[in-house]
Amino acid sequence: MYFLNINKPKNMSSFDVIRFLRKKLNIRQIGHSGTLDPLASGVLQVALGQATKLLDYLKSDKTYIADIIFGYTSETYDDEGEKTFIKTPDFKKSDLENALKSFLGKSLQIPPKYSAIKIQGKKLCDLARKNKLNDITITPREIEIYSLELLEFIKDKNITKAKVKISAKKGIYIRSFAYDLGQKLLCGAYIKDLKRIQAGDFRLLDSDELDSENYRKINPLDVLDIQKYETDDNEYKKIMNGVFICPKPDCALKEGEVLLTKNNKLVSIANLSDNLIRPKKNFKEV
């Protein structure tokens, strides 16, 4: 039971990565958190074995570096779609900086039609490819952007482009962000390239290439931001049998979720209330 920090290559889907790892490691139980488009590269949080039950407990804030082209729109909001020229951009760097500031905080965002969101049991991208979106309303979703940093701005007679660092809460579509930015600047925009440099505690600097000979195994206890409680032999046996336990008098636990450990390995996710620790999910791999 462990996590991997994989640098997903460009032009592979997130599930392609899982398929590759299943074959290479001969492990069936593998999952990931935070899907990346095939166009995008960067951090993919991968769980193996019973760690797949922990994906929802990982920190979910994300940081991206996006290359954005202005003056055009794309059917898919990225470099893969058919491009439409809108107008030659006439904004200045200061105009772009002001536009970026307007996206900070919480707002509503309409996901791109070429996405894996399901409506009426069918993926939007599949409906879009079959031209069946005419009678479907895509509901805006709340997103939250923590910070935006303009890393590079190039404007000449041939191209206007920018490199932007974006830190946001889980759920944002960077392709939609680029599209909305182009709308605000009245010239259109799309994503040329996208790289995720951080997902929770997983950083690109610490990631393993997909074709690495060996992957660094990440102990769930190192990346789950939940209070911990080391069980003794008697407590461990009770927890494994689903029996509630009372925390030791000298521990400083707060009510709420608790990671129960044994020999520095996770054995259960539990809940503390009324001075009782109640196991919710137990793990046998000790």
What SS3 state is found at 218? Answer: strand
The Cα-based distances of 64 to 56, 67, 165, 276 in angstroms read 20, 10, 6, 41
What SS3 state is found at 104? Answer: coil
Distance CA 57, CA 278 (A): 18
Domain 62-196 class?
Answer: alpha beta
Average pLDDT, the chain: 89
Residue 118: what pLDDT?
56
Domain ranges of the chain: 2-60+200-219, 62-196, 228-282
Domains 62-196 and 228-282 share a fold: no
Give the model confidence (pLDDT) of 211-249 as tens digits.
998 999 999 999 998 999 988 899 898 888 888 888 888
Distance CA 194, CA 196 (A): 7
Q: Which residues are catalytic?
A: 37
Contact 217, 211 (CB under 8 A): no
Tell me the H-state helices in the chain. 14-25, 93-101, 124-129, 174-184, 233-240
What's this model's pTM, rounded to 2 decimal places?
Answer: 0.88
Closest to 275 (Cα-Cα) out of 242, 239, 240, 251: 251
Distance CA 47, CA 60 (A): 14
CATH superfamily for 2-60+200-219 is Pseudouridine synthase (3.30.2350.10)
Residue 286: what pLDDT?
45
Residue 61 clears pLDDT 70, i.e. is over it? yes
The architecture in CATH of the region 228-282 reads Roll (2.30)
Q: Is 264 left (phi over 0), alpha (psi -120 to 50) or beta?
A: left
Contact 17, 171 (CB under 8 A): no
Mean pLDDT of 256-283: 89
263 burial type by CB count under 10 A (0-12 exposed, 13-18 middle, 19+ buried): exposed
The Cα-based distances of 172 to 71, 87, 169, 224, 252 in angstroms read 23, 27, 7, 22, 36
**Across 10-14, 41-45, 244-248, least confident range:** 244-248
Closest to 254 (Cα-Cα) out of 233, 270, 234: 270
